Structure 1
Amino acid sequence: MTVSYRQPGVVLTDRRFSVPLDHDDPAGERIELYAREVVPAARGGAELPWLVYLQGGPGFGATRFHGRESWLDRALRDFRVLLLDQRGTGSSTPANRQTLPLRGGPREQADYLAHFRADSIVRDCEAIRPEVTGGAPWTVLGQSFGGFCATHYLSVAPEGLAGALITGGLPTLDGDADAVYRAAYPRMARKSAAHYARYPQDVERARRIAAYLAEHEPVLSGGYKLTVPAFQSLGILLGTGDGSHRLHYLMEDAFVRTPSGTALSDAFQENVQALLSYAGNPLYAVLHEAIYAQGERPTAWAAERVRAEFPRFDAGKTLAGDEPLLFTGEAVQRWMFDSDPAL
Structure 2
Amino acid sequence: MLEVPLDHADPAGPAIEVYAREVVAPGKEDSDLPWLLFLQGGPGHKAIRPGADPGAWLDRALREYRVLLLDQRGTGRSTPANRQTLPADPAEAAAYLRHFRADSIVRDAELLRRRLIGDRPWSVLGQSFGGFCAVTYLSLAPEGLREAFITGGLPSLTAGPDEVYRAAYPRVLAANERYFARYPDDQEIVRRIVRHLRERDVRLPGGERLTARRFQTLGIGLGSSVQFHNLHYLLEEAFIGRDELSDAFLRAVDAAVSYAARPIYALLHEACYCQGTASRWSAHRVRDEFPQFALDGDGPVRFVGEMIYPWFFEEDPALRPLRECAELLAAYEDWPDLYDVDRLAANAVPVAAAVYYDDMYVDRDHSLQTADRIAGLRTWVTNEYAHNGLSADARVLDRLIAMVRGEA
Name the TM-score, length of structure 1 as normaliser: 0.90
Is residue 303 of structure 1 aligned with residue 245 of structure 2? no
Q: Which residue of 2 aligns with 1:9?
A: none
Partner residue of 1:135 out of 102, 110, 119:
119
| Distance in 2, Cα, partners of 1:70 & 1:184 | 27
Aligned match for 1:196, one of 180, 187, 193 = 180
Aligned partner of 2:271 in structure 1 is 290
Are the aligned partners of 2:234 and 2:252 in contact in 1 as well (CA < 8 Å)? yes
Q: Could you list the per-position Cα deviations for residues 69-89 of structure 1 after superposition, in whole angstroms to 9, with x for gaps in the alignment? A: 510011111210000001100
Distance 1:217 1:294, change over 3 A: farther
What's the offset of the Cα at 1:135? 2.4
CA distances 1:279-321 after superposition (whole Å, capped 9, x unpaired): 11110000111111232x111111111111111110112xxx3
What residue number does 1:326 align with? 302
Among 229, 242, 253, the residue aligned to 1:272? 253
Give the letter for the 2:128 counterpart: S
Write the mapping of 1:1-343 to structure 2, written as runs, cut at 5 A: 16-66=1-51, 69-100=55-86, 103-257=87-241, 262-295=243-276, 297-317=277-297, 321=298, 323-343=299-319
Q: Deviations over 1:103-129 (max 9, x none)?
A: 240000000111111111111111121
Flag the 1:331–1:141 CA change in 2: closer, same or farther, 3 A: same
Which deviations, in whole Å up to 9, do the C-alpha atoms of 1:46-92 show, x marking residues without a partner?
A: 00111111111000110112189510011111210000001100000
Contact (CA 8 Å) 2:37, 2:70: kept in 1 or not? yes
SS in 2 for 1:308: helix
State the alpha-carbon separation in 1 of the partners of residues 139 and 79 from structure 2: 27
CA distance in 2, matches of 1:229, 1:147: 30
Matched to 1:267, the amino acid is: A
Distance 1:231 1:266 in 2: 15
Shift of 1:251: 1.0
Deviation at 1:219, TM superposition (A): 2.6
Whole-angstrom CA distance in 1 between matches of 2:151 and 2:253: 28
Residues 223, 341 of structure 1: 8 Å contact kept: no
Mind listing any 5+ residue stretches in structure 1 that lack a counterpart?
1-15
Instruction: Give the AA of the match of 1:342.
Output: A
Q: Residues of 2 paired with 1:161 and 1:181: CA distance?
A: 31
Matching residue's letter, 1:241: S
For residue 153 of structure 1, report the CA deviation from its aligned partner. 0.9
Deviates more, 1:178-187 or 1:307-316: 178-187
TM-score by length of 2: 0.76
Unaligned runs of 5+ in 2: 320-408
* CA distance in structure 2 between the partners assigned to 1:205 and 1:38 by the alignment: 44
What is the one-letter code of the residue matched to 1:87?
Answer: R
Matching residue's letter, 1:214: R
Q: How many matched pairs?
A: 318
Q: Measure the CA separation in 1 of the matches of 2:197 and 2:145.
A: 50
Checking the alignment, whether the CA contact within 8 Å between 2:48 and 2:55 is kept in structure 1 is no
CA distance in 1, matches of 2:74, 2:252: 26
CA contact (8 A) 1:224 1:273 kept: no
- Contact 1:224/1:277 (8 A) holds in 2: no
Output the CA distance in 2 between the equivalents of 1:95 and 1:314: 33
Residues 307 and 217 of structure 1, relative CA distance in 2, 3 Å threshold: farther
- For 2:142 and 2:181, the matched residues in 1 are separated by 47
Determine the C-alpha separation between the residues in 2 that align with 1:156 and 1:336: 33
Task: Please state how far the C-alpha of 1:17 moved relative to its aligned partner.
Answer: 0.8
Q: CA deviation at 1:179?
A: 1.2
Percent same amino acid among aligned pairs? 57
CA displacement at 1:240 relative to structure 2:
0.6
Contact 2:71–2:78 under 8 Å retained in 1: yes
- Cα displacement (A) at 1:170: 1.1
Higher RCO by CA contacts (8 Å cutoff, separation 6 or greater): 2
SS of 2:222's equivalent in the other structure is: helix
Distance across 2 between alignment mates of 1:26 and 1:205: 55
**Higher percent of residues as strand:** 1
Q: Secondary structure at the match of 1:163?
A: strand
Matched-pair contact (CA < 8 Å) for 2:175–2:222: yes
Partner-residue secondary structure (3-state), 2:225 = coil
